[in-house]
Amino acid sequence: MDTLTHGLFGVAMYAAAKTPDLSKRERLVLLGSLVFANQAPDLDVLAGVTETGRTMMQSWHRGLTHSIALAPLIAWLIWLFARLGYKRKGLYPLLLGGVVLHDTIDLFNTWGTGYLEPFSDIRVTFGTVPIVDPVIWLIFAVAFFLGRKIGQRKAIRGAFVGLLVWVAFRSVLGAFYLMEEAKRYDEVALAAGFAPGVYDVIGRDGDDVEVVRRSVFAERDVTRSFVSDPSVKEELFAQNKKAEVLAGWSPFVVYGSTEDGPFVFDPRIWQGDEPLLIERAFD
């Protein structure tokens, strides 16, 4: 998810956990540590100091720091600092919950995470929830508003239940579209759209790749189609090692060539009319 959403989860956990007898210092430490715990796995972006390009970013971003196996250690390190200003019991489980929530909710985005690292290098991705989901913001906004009337703890707990229901609904609907399209293609991948109930199913049949828009609001629509040319792979990889990284990271890719040389891109993720992840010769 986006940084704002992860931070929102931290604030919500604070609102549900704080008690009236906390001092001002304890409240600040509790709030800060919970927000940080919900953001901590994304500190791997600091690797961008030495790596360049979106493809190289994806080769390490959401990797080991998003591993469920590493979550207890990340939470413990945050706890070591937080306990300097917050001596009460029960803080570590909250911090662990924040880190695990971050790692787990990111599974539902198209990018995928190294949830099983270091035991497996498979990038786990469901693609059923967009990185920015306004419905999630709305759920928690309503909860914070209702908290004034029915109590913060009750309202925030209801919001987390609403989050679970919403993610489950989007996942079931996305899985339905994915299974339908799997009957037409050799391989399929899912990318949730920004609008609720809208998905792109990317299907590969041999060297033919199509992007199919599925929605509760409209009929099935093939929005993009490509013919991949894997014969350029060897030349491309020799000229640009990032292309090989991209091909290994993505579920499947599209190869092609122009007068400027060969290229490869991930057909799942788009920025306007251009693929977001693309590598060309000599890039």
pLDDT digits (tens, 9 = 90+) for 50-85: 555 566 556 556 788 899 999 999 999 999 999 999
pLDDT at res. 20:
81
- State both tokens at 102: 């971050």
pLDDT digits (tens, 9 = 90+) for 90-115: 999 999 999 999 999 999 998 888 89
User: Phi/psi of residue 263, each to 5°?
Assistant: -150, 165
- State both tokens at 26: 């304890």
* 132: nearest Cα among 221, 218, 234, 7: 7
Which residue would you say has higher pLDDT here, 87 or 220? Answer: 220
pLDDT at res. 62:
77
- State both tokens at 120: 């497996």
Band of residue 189 on the pLDDT scale cut at 50, 70, 90: very high
Mean pLDDT of 218-228: 96
Mean pLDDT of 154-166: 95
What is the residue-wise DSSP string for 64-113?
A: GGG-TTTHHHHHHHHHHHHTTT---TTHHHHHHHHHHHHHHHGGGSSS-B
What is the distance between the alpha carbons of residues 125 and 191, in angstroms, rounded to a whole number? Answer: 10
Mean pLDDT of 193-214: 95
Q: Are 133 and 5 in contact (CB under 8 A)?
A: yes
Every domain of the chain and the residues it spans: 3-125, 228-280
Q: Over 60: is that where the pLDDT of 241 sits?
A: yes
Band of residue 168 on the pLDDT scale cut at 50, 70, 90: very high
Q: Over 60: is that where the pLDDT of 275 sits?
A: yes
Mean pLDDT, the chain, rounded, equals 91
Q: Report the residue count for the chain.
A: 283
